[in-house]
Amino acid sequence: MAAERALPDSAVVVLAVLAERPMHGYDLQRVVHDRGFTFWTQLRRSSSYKALRLLEHNGLIFERAEPGDGPDRKVYSITEQGLNRLRRECLAKLAAPSHPRSEIDLAIYALPFLPKDQALAALRESRQHLAARAEFLRERLAWCRDRGLRMPALSFERPLVALEAELTWLDHFVTDYAALPDPSTQEWNEYSYLEPPDAGAPTR
């Protein structure tokens, strides 16, 4: 039996939202926006409708026409198969999250080719952006806790802790990088590659 190919994140988001209740396309877009999904998934208006088509094609959702004063509107609902698929997708993400990737890692490799003063200025600017994001998450977390919104609060805790760790790392990195007399990529010639533990994991 062929392994089940993982759904794109945009499709998982749409499934999760429709698991709450049937929705029109407009309602779906509003919920996706209001809950901040667009900040941590690549989900835009066009990709959400693409996800709807994919899910319907695979029998994970269905649509029905809702009559009204104007043209009939499409209402999307999750199927039992779709709910089971959502559970499998999310359990897999909880058990084996994908390897974290950051654009800053590529820029760090190229630091020897950058003017040091410009690189340090860019890193200080990066810290300002990260600090602003962390402050936003602290406010949202406190807002949720004050109102007893436990599940939304849990959703904000992980990214906040990750950002705080990123800020701590960045402060150490800037100090170490500023002290380097001559950064060079030549040291990579002495590095021995080791396969990461999650590399080559079978696709579900």
Specify the residue for token string 């150490």: 172
Is 9-95 in CATH node 1.10.10.10? yes
What does the DSSP 8-state code read for residue 178?
Answer: H
Q: List pLDDT tens digits, range 116-144.
A: 999 999 999 999 999 999 999 999 999 99
SS (H, E, C) 76-145: EEECHHHHHHHHHHHHHHHHCCCCCCCHHHHHHHCHHHCCHHHHHHHHHHHHHHHHHHHHHHHHHHHHHH
- Domain edges within the chain: 9-95, 103-183
Residue 200 tokens, joined: 């080559």
Over the stretch 80-108, which tens digit does the pLDDT of each residue have?
999 999 999 999 999 988 887 888 999 99
Task: Summarize pLDDT for 15-51 with one digit per residue, the tens.
Answer: 999 999 999 988 998 998 898 887 777 677 667 889 9
CA separation for the pair 4, 12 (Å, rounded): 14
pTM for this entry = 0.81
Token pair, residue 87, equals 């559970």
Which pLDDT score, from 0 to 100, does residue 182 have? 81
Question: CB within 8 A of 10, min separation 6: which ones?
Answer: 41, 42, 43, 47, 48, 50, 51
The SS3 assignment for 158 reads helix
